[in-house]
Amino acid sequence: MNIISCDVGWVAGKKRNAVVIATNDWQIRCLRRELDDNQLATLVKEWATPESLILLDVPIEGCGELSKENPRRHVENTLQHYLSLYPALKANLRGKQLREILLQGISQEVRKNVIIKEIYPYAVYKFLWFVDSKGILANVQKGEWQSVVDENFPSKSSPKYKRGKKEERLKGMRYLYTFLTERLSLSFLEPLDSPNEMFSHSQLDLLADQYDACLGTVVGLLSVARNPFAWLIGNDDQGEILMLADEWLKNELESKISMKRLY
């Protein structure tokens, strides 16, 4: 099975798509960034196999009825007490349209068995970073179900890697690079680029897209492995996100929003 994680530009027509492809043995087999939609669709077609999990970092369902007065879906309204999220209105119908483009490019035999789900890489990173700071990342990767975050989780932020002064941003990106290549169980068959001071802000943006796509593979791999920390939060009609939650966060969320397993 291939896990195809796509960090998607929320505006069509720009080359801000990145793709990272992993197999369920945690090997990263393909790393691409600065793709337009056609290049993205071609790559997904090449790697999609029956039962592949395709992950899109963009709101997919539930955006049709949003407005300036109501810019967030129920899933964002619920999660924003624990995570920072952009209003789904900013994406408009981008996710739904892109999903159709990707499906149309895949053969009918493969299309009927692939799964496409929405992800939010920042949420994955914040959860794993918080857990790692407590020295229990290995417990999560092994699937030892327990409370691994706590009431301090909402107010904590993982190191910034997308905005801010270049020196601060480079520090955050270097931390995330080490996190991806050393702290997790990923095996990179293609080398992941590390940031350096010669990169322009736009080049760092593109590299950050690729790092986000890497984070997407992690939640996909944990879900495929039936790790108990992987959850689908929300519902098919109003929007749902594949993300990580422990016993504490589950107890916080389950009275407010639907939670279920993907597998």
Q: Which residues pair with 241 in a beta bridge?
A: 118, 233
* Residue among 93, 70, 81 nearest 123 (CA): 81
**Quick one: average pLDDT of 113-134?**
97
> Looking at the DSSP assignment, which residues form a beta bridge with residue 187?
27
- Whether residue 162 contacts residue 208, with contact meaning beta carbons closer than 8 Å, is answered with yes
pLDDT category, 45, cuts 50, 70, 90? very high
Q: What is the reported pLDDT for 164? A: 86
Confidence band (pLDDT; 50, 70, 90) for 153?
very high
pLDDT for the residue numbered 236: 87
In our burial notation (b when 16+ CB lie closer than 10 A, e otherwise), range 102-121 reads bbebbeeeeeeebbbbbbbb
Predicted confidence (pLDDT) at residue 252 exceeds the cutoff of 90? yes
Tokens of 137: 């990342």
Q: Which two tokens stand for residue 173?
A: 């990106």
- Confidence class for position 189, pLDDT limits 50, 70, 90: very high
Alpha helices in 27-120 (DSSP H): 37-47, 74-79, 94-105, 108-111
Q: Is the pLDDT of residue 133 over 90?
A: yes
Residue 169 CA from chain centroid, whole number = 20
Q: What is the mean pLDDT of residues 117-141?
A: 97
Q: What is the C-alpha to C-alpha distance for residues 129 and 114, in angstroms, rounded to an integer?
A: 30
Q: What is the rounded CA–CA span in Å between residue 59 and residue 142?
A: 29
* Residue 106 to residue 117: CA distance in whole angstroms: 16
**Model pLDDT, residue 208:** 98
Rg of the chain's alpha carbons, rounded to an integer? Answer: 17
Single-letter amino acid code for the residue at 57? D
Model confidence at 109, pLDDT cuts 50, 70, 90, reads very high
Question: Is pLDDT above 90 for 213?
Answer: yes
* pLDDT beyond 90 at 79: yes
Could you give the CA distance from residue 53 to residue 21 in angstroms, rounded to a whole number? 10
The predicted model gives 154-173 an average pLDDT of: 93
Flag whether pLDDT at 66 surpasses 90.
yes
Which residue(s) pair with 5 in the sheet?
20, 55
Give pLDDT, residue 218.
98
What's this model's pTM, rounded to 2 decimal places?
0.97
User: Is pLDDT at 130 greater than 90 in this prediction?
Assistant: yes
Backbone angles phi, psi at 108, to 5 degrees: -60, -35
Average pLDDT over every residue of 206-230? 98
pLDDT value for 170: 96
